[in-house]
Structure 1
């Protein structure tokens, strides 16, 4: 058994190396360069490494473009050094936690790069935080310094005195006394490389917080072959352009930015998502890659064919979507609108990249999460922790891959069975080997003795032409224990009736899956990555 595990690991390593070579991420003919890159990653981390490498290979190439213009790799490198040295002169020590609360722009990228090379652990905060929630998370993570956008000044004011740097200034309020701006730091600071830390202090990405206070997912090790998880199934180009509108402080935007930057790509970002401005950016920069969340693509398609046709999107070859469930309806609409360019990435902050569906798989089975990439493995278990191997039999989805989770910052972790970690989702695998998410394992309700997953009902209701957005939850019921309640956002100029929507479900699914309540709302509570925050939907009696 031990010999088999060794052989399997060796085979996977060879497979990952071949993928990285094929995609241009490494050159096996230059082994010393690979060793040097791995050494840098272990001391200053992946974000600093890709910027530093870009500055050495192509210093004048564009690295990041935002509403203020474009910075080259050399400029980002120098600004990263200036910020790192500034923080080191303010009493911080390697291993200290520095938090960043910033939208997607140059300041965030500089923060990602600077903290690694200074030896700090970076905590990436959610821009959707309220003040009390932010303060609680910052205290839990032991934050010693803040990098933040001016617009979040009122939130950051809840923290005790500590070094602070403004990463973006709108000019709508005076800069607080004793707070530096990133522009000032760059203009007056030391742009030489700071002393190399002994080891990479890591970073913390917060979970989505859909069930409560976001947990901090700690990562201090980034395996050198982890990039193969993405590149195995998504052909990210070299020296091209990516438009990333998915928040970079969350896993998907962060991972694609890192891998794409390692390949020399320019990244175009915007602080706030706008559907038509995204189309304009894709056209202006002849971008080959778009990274988004499902709700963003829904809004882009809702612009209509006449608006979309105004922009030349012929360069677009890849749309990476992640962050929340992709409905079959949206899956088909995206490819009918933009061509067969959609890649549905499934994973989480804890387990990393689990699977990726390619365009042809999404045509065959819209909404599928596809297959596992190299070094990723999945298993399904029942409620008794016994393996499930049958076709189309739902089970709890567990995963393991080359980028292991190191536990939450509060000391907790996820359930692990035979080396596989729980994703928290229910899934099934069809006869073609394609995987499908059935819903969160804690979303399942029992209604009249029958198991019901709300996601199945949501996907069906999303197909109705009058439905723009939908959420289905379970609420208490005296007779059935639980019943389904559907929250519907109507399409513009549409006026669907509750009985009409119930009949739509009844026509396609079992009677016990028909929502007993249909509630019309203006919008649904979603976090910055588009995930539905079900706990914010009302479960009490309807008026």
Structure 2
């Protein structure tokens, strides 16, 4: 109870709620309980700040009043389909107003929304739609070929572009914008996991705690009625969660349908954006533009770079801070646990590589392979999280391991003497070579420090003598000598011999999914002459 009170006070301090306006607070809480946070927060912002910009995309800007009214009209149209409450609607869309309208409109129509990954293959989409029991599909026209693989009896509507099926713009224009009676309970939503090891799982959220915003914003400074540029896709938890918190602060979401590094800088300059939401590989591409291009744009308004989704190399943090100032807030979490910890700029500077400390209502713990808690610093263990946003289990019936209320993240990590958390790698990434345990991230971070390395990843491959050996895949700069032996000598000078990659492979790019996560399973593990 005391912890929840602390979370409420933090929300008041941040500006998410106003404890001095109890009637507004009660109305918002009731709407959240019946509609879910996204629709409820859009309604709240439309009532309090109707003329503020809510979203800007390639089509222009919608105010909060316009976003609210168009959400109502779409909800009326969806209601006419006659689906039972909490039927699942799938949306396959990039970042633009159509996706926001789908999120808000389905909630008002008491339907459950499944946010589909834009990187799904045709067969994967069909399997996910069948597993999640999707009854209607909303999609961008560029994904028409993928949607053609779905059963013909599933109604479909376009969220962007034109084609042989109706658009949601046509649905909105044909229906009134008055509010619908709120449902008895929210439809909820389903976010897919990244699917880095196979078909993405569905992680449902039927009810979201009102304290969830405090969990995300506690250690990350969000603008208030300011602009945030979203490079990370909203169909995944990083973009989705940060956009939701932004709604509670009546922020202006600047959306780009496709990532373009220079266009991101232009958007920050044009909208005086105070926040950027991104994944680490996007920061790499922004820096790759070089000072001449970067300095064409005024990015002095930027105060917060919310980074999540995959490991952030200390070297990348340092280079980005050198160019843009101390702005990176490195977020460690997952679809299942939301935000587990945040490294603020001062912590990243003091302890390079840390993912920081947990926010309010979140607790971290390490357990060994025998499920015994680890209390000492610098001892590696499995990372577990206890959070104020309980995980409901996957839609396929599976669940993460839970010990004493703490849920497994699937990662290995350790704490330092100050209690800062470090992630050593995924449980299944650890390589045992010649009887020694090797965490690839240590080697990857060292390689990333080289001026001639853009990105690096290290995996284990089969070896007749050692059981496993290390193989490094490196994206080099144009000036790189591409000398494998030089790379090996470099690692050998800093790390133990068993951590030196036996193989060094230079590649043009690393395989990643639509959210920027590295797909290690797609890296060749066989003999190099067959790779």
* Structure 2 partner of 1:537: 523
Aligned counterparts of 1:422 and 1:218: Cα–Cα separation in 2: 17
The DSSP-based 3-state class of the residue aligned with 1:180 is coil
**Equivalent residue for 2:121, pick from 130, 144, 151:** 130
Q: Which runs of 4+ in 1 moved over 3 A?
A: none
Verify: 1:140 aligned to 2:131, yes or no. yes
**Equivalent residue for 1:527, pick from 513, 522, 525:** 513
Aligned counterparts of 2:257 and 2:144: Cα–Cα separation in 1: 16
Verify: 1:77 aligned to 2:68, yes or no. yes
**Does the CA-based 8 Å contact 2:225-2:249 persist in structure 1?**
yes
The alpha-carbon deviation at position 467 of structure 1 amounts to 1.0
Verify: 1:468 aligned to 2:468, yes or no. no
Verify: 1:262 aligned to 2:248, yes or no. yes
The DSSP-based 3-state class of the residue aligned with 1:474 is strand
The alpha-carbon deviation at position 34 of structure 1 amounts to 1.9
Q: CA RMSD in A?
A: 1.0
Aligned counterparts of 2:479 and 2:485: Cα–Cα separation in 1: 18
The DSSP-based 3-state class of the residue aligned with 2:382 is strand
The alpha-carbon deviation at position 493 of structure 1 amounts to 2.9
**Equivalent residue for 2:147, pick from 145, 152, 156:** 156
Verify: 1:93 aligned to 2:79, yes or no. no
The DSSP-based 3-state class of the residue aligned with 1:239 is coil
- Matched residues, number: 528
Aligned counterparts of 1:429 and 1:32: Cα–Cα separation in 2: 44
Aligned counterparts of 2:484 and 2:127: Cα–Cα separation in 1: 41
Aligned counterparts of 2:59 and 2:319: Cα–Cα separation in 1: 33
* Structure 2 partner of 1:285: 271
Aligned counterparts of 1:398 and 1:297: Cα–Cα separation in 2: 28
The DSSP-based 3-state class of the residue aligned with 1:127 is coil
**Equivalent residue for 2:107, pick from 105, 116, 140:** 116
**Does the CA-based 8 Å contact 1:58-1:73 persist in structure 2?**
yes
User: What are the ranges of 5 or more consecutive residues in structure 2 without an aligned counterpart?
Assistant: none
* Structure 2 partner of 1:11: 2
The alpha-carbon deviation at position 341 of structure 1 amounts to 1.0
**Does the CA-based 8 Å contact 1:352-1:404 persist in structure 2?**
no
**Does the CA-based 8 Å contact 1:293-1:324 persist in structure 2?**
yes
User: What are the ranges of 5 or more consecutive residues in structure 1 without an aligned counterpart?
Assistant: 1-9
* Structure 1 partner of 2:440: 454
The alpha-carbon deviation at position 453 of structure 1 amounts to 1.1
- Which moved further from structure 2: 84-93 or 128-137? 84-93
Verify: 1:51 aligned to 2:37, yes or no. no
* Structure 2 partner of 1:209: 195
**Equivalent residue for 1:313, pick from 275, 299, 304:** 299
The DSSP-based 3-state class of the residue aligned with 1:436 is strand
**Equivalent residue for 1:26, pick from 3, 12, 17:** 17
**Does the CA-based 8 Å contact 2:230-2:254 persist in structure 1?**
yes
**Does the CA-based 8 Å contact 1:67-1:270 persist in structure 2?**
yes
The alpha-carbon deviation at position 310 of structure 1 amounts to 0.8
The DSSP-based 3-state class of the residue aligned with 2:470 is strand
The alpha-carbon deviation at position 234 of structure 1 amounts to 1.0
Aligned counterparts of 2:337 and 2:11: Cα–Cα separation in 1: 21
**Does the CA-based 8 Å contact 1:87-1:163 persist in structure 2?**
no
Aligned counterparts of 1:326 and 1:193: Cα–Cα separation in 2: 43
* Structure 1 partner of 2:176: 190
Verify: 1:167 aligned to 2:167, yes or no. no
Q: 1:245-288: CA deviations, max 9, x gaps?
A: 10100001001100011101000010000000100000000000
The DSSP-based 3-state class of the residue aligned with 2:182 is coil
**Does the CA-based 8 Å contact 2:77-2:172 persist in structure 1?**
no
**Does the CA-based 8 Å contact 1:324-1:529 persist in structure 2?**
no
The alpha-carbon deviation at position 144 of structure 1 amounts to 0.2
Q: 1:314-348: CA deviations, max 9, x gaps?
A: 11111110000000110111111100111001100
Aligned counterparts of 1:146 and 1:25: Cα–Cα separation in 2: 33
